[in-house]
Chains A and B, each alone.
Chain A
Amino acid sequence: MIHADRLPAIRFRAMGTVIAAAGKDEDIQPYWRMPLYRFFQSTERMASRFLPDSELSRFNRAPMCHPVKLSSRLYEMIRLAWSWSIRTEGLFQPLVGSDLCRLGYDRSFENLEKADPRKSPNRADCGRTAGRDLSNALILDDAERTAVRNSPLHLDLGGIGKGWAADRAAGMLQGSFHVTRGFVDAGGDMRVWSDGEPWLIGIQSPFDEERDLLRLVLREGAVATSNVLHRRWEHEGQPAHHIIDGRTGLPAETDIVQATVLGRSAAEAEVAAKVICMAGSGHLSAWMKKFFPGLGYIAVTRSGSLIINRRVYDYAERLVA
């Protein structure tokens, strides 16, 4: 007999992060755990740019200007990423794999931490450099499910891939396994739902991971957090991080160090959280209204101030501060 406040759960490493999920369903056995585990592992094998045999790595190595037939899952993920690149006028850019690689982020982050920071990556493996007009860099054909890369730059689907996977996994748990209360957390990209008591979600402080800045009371929705202080490393004597401004190909440097976004889709919230880190407090409100109308956000500045919009209350029943 399961106590009402104790839900079957699973935790494992995949996609370069820790994946966690919990759920309550009608079955005595939580059958959803193994399919969920397999889904994330197979998604990593398909879409990791760090695995040379992944479908994404093969696509990145394929000759330019030639259509490449893709699996339906990878095509869907690339299509989603590219559509957000267009909608955000290139601020969010999936073709930053080469930029990240040249900055030294050429292996999974846990391996990067062990690597010698003075050693430069093999630049030949990063793809050639290119101009920043990337408006026609990818041509997608929905009917044929093919993609043509018109740029030497490589794709990186690390962030949006986790959001996409969290959305898909949440749909699978609710649709196929009738999980009526649960969450899927893919390294900061989270989906929660509940037919009863809401979830209490702590917003982790960017300055002290043991502390919460405030807590959200949320029954259903997506929450994604991006942070420029976490995935940081040193490259050729300079600090670098993983949130790349699509317009420059360089790490975003603004007064915002962390952004948490609330919405319906984890993938959309993930993209918005990245864009907030590029916007800084100066552009924050205007860019969110323009690119992500309807989403709630909680941004943390370097000084520790919180910038919050009213839309947060469209998703959260309460902010406990």
Chain B
Amino acid sequence: MAESKGMKWIIGVSGVLAFTGFLYLTQKANSGPGVMAERRLPDPRVAGDQSGVDSGPAYSDAEVFLFETEKLERIQNGPPARKSDRERLLESLNWDDDPDAEMTVPPLTDGIGRKSTGSNLRTRRS
């Protein structure tokens, strides 16, 4: 009987201690300087959002990754001779006096256009 009573006391006291400890820890985490910033920004460890590291799916159905931008030097610094006739035709539009000037360019002879590299940014059909 006395043994059972002692056991109940131990369980009761441990419960109170555990609850007090939990309250202490949660209060500590939510106080002090920089709280607003911590709340505003997600915890990257929880989110799996590590800059520069492809950490896989982070927000349930989202895919985080590194976007590879295309090198522009090649086309930006290329000599004018490298421009296609089609491009030079389009550029002539830019020299028109009328700011609303319009040009109709016939379809490409092969009718298909430039093959996308798949890595650059592209318009999509909405």
Known contacts A197-B72, A211-B114: A305-B106 contact under CB 8 Å? yes
Q: Of the listed stretches A73-81, A87-95, A125-133, A222-230, name the one at the interface; the rest are far from the partner chain.
A: A222-230
Find out whether the CB atom of A225 lies under 8 angstroms from the CB atom of B126. Answer: yes
**Pairs across A and B, CB under 8 Å, 8 listed:** A6-B52, A7-B67, A10-B63, A33-B49, A202-B122, A208-B112, A310-B94, A310-B102
In this complex, the member of A185, A215, A303 whose beta carbon has the largest number of chain B beta carbons within 10 angstroms is A215
Cα separation A149 to B38 with both chains bound (whole Å): 43
A18-68 contacts to B (CB < 8 Å): 18, 22, 27-31, 33-35, 37
In this complex, the member of A22, A192, A224, A288 whose beta carbon has the largest number of chain B beta carbons within 10 angstroms is A22
The 8 closest A-B pairs by CB, nearest first: A188-B126, A304-B107, A230-B125, A9-B67, A22-B67, A227-B125, A12-B62, A202-B122
Find out whether the CB atom of B66 lies under 8 angstroms from the CB atom of A6. Answer: yes
Q: Of the listed stretches B2-10, B11-19, B20-28, B40-48, name the one at the interface; the rest are far from the partner chain.
A: B40-48
CB distance from A94 to the nearest CB of B (A): 16
Contact of A308 among B42, B69, B102, B106 (CB under 8 A): B102
- Encoded as 1 (CB less than 8 Å from any B CB) or 0, chain A from 274 to 311 comes to 00000001001100110001000000000111111111
**B residues near A, CB below 8 A?**
41-42, 44, 47, 49-52, 58-59, 61-72, 75-76, 84, 86-87, 90-91, 93-94, 96, 98-108, 111-116, 120-126
Cα separation A206 to B111 with both chains bound (whole Å): 12
**A residues near B, CB below 8 A?**
1-2, 5-13, 17-18, 22, 27-31, 33-35, 37, 159, 162, 183, 185, 187-190, 192, 197-215, 217, 223-227, 229-231, 258, 260, 270, 281, 284-285, 288-289, 293, 303-313, 318-321
